[in-house]
Amino acid sequence: DAGVTQSPTHLIKTRGQQVTLRCSPISGHKSVSWYQQVLGQGPQFIFQYYEKEERGRGNFPDRFSARQFPNYSSELNVNALLLGDSALYLCASSFSNQGEQFFGPGTRLTVL
C-alpha cells in the first residue's frame, strides 16, 4: 500500500507569490491534516479536514487556506508569501478523527 504522498517535494518562490501544495492520503483514509515544520522545531498544526469539511484550524493567518476533494486528497494554499513561510509542510492522514496520523514526506518550501 502506498503511504501518504505529497507534491511537489521542493519549491522555491519569491515574496508575494502564491503556492499550492498537494496531498494524497492513504487509501481509505478520510481525514487530512496539514502541519508546518520550521527547521529545528516540531510540526505546528495548520488545518484538519475530515469528510471534506474543515474541522480544525491552527493559529495561522488567513493567507493560509485549504480544501479537501471528494477523493479525500487535499490542497494547501498560501498567498502573499513571506520569508517566514519557508518551512517543511507536512500532510498527515488518518482513517477518522480518532485515528493515528501518518505523515507524508513533506514539501520543502523556500521563499526568497
Q: How far is the CB of 32 from another protein (least distance, A)?
A: 10
Sequence-distant (6+) residues with CB within 8 A of 69 are 52, 75
Beta-carbon count within 10 A of 16 CB: 10
Interface mask toward another protein for 32-71; x: CB under 8 A: -x-x----xxxxxx--x-x----xx-xx------------
Determine the Cα–Cα distance for residues 43 and 70; give it in Å rounded to an integer.
26
Nearest CB to another protein, comparing residues 73 and 101: 101
Kindly list the residues in this chain that would bind another protein in the complex (CB under 8 A).
4, 31, 33, 35, 40-45, 48, 50, 55-56, 58-59, 90, 94, 97-106
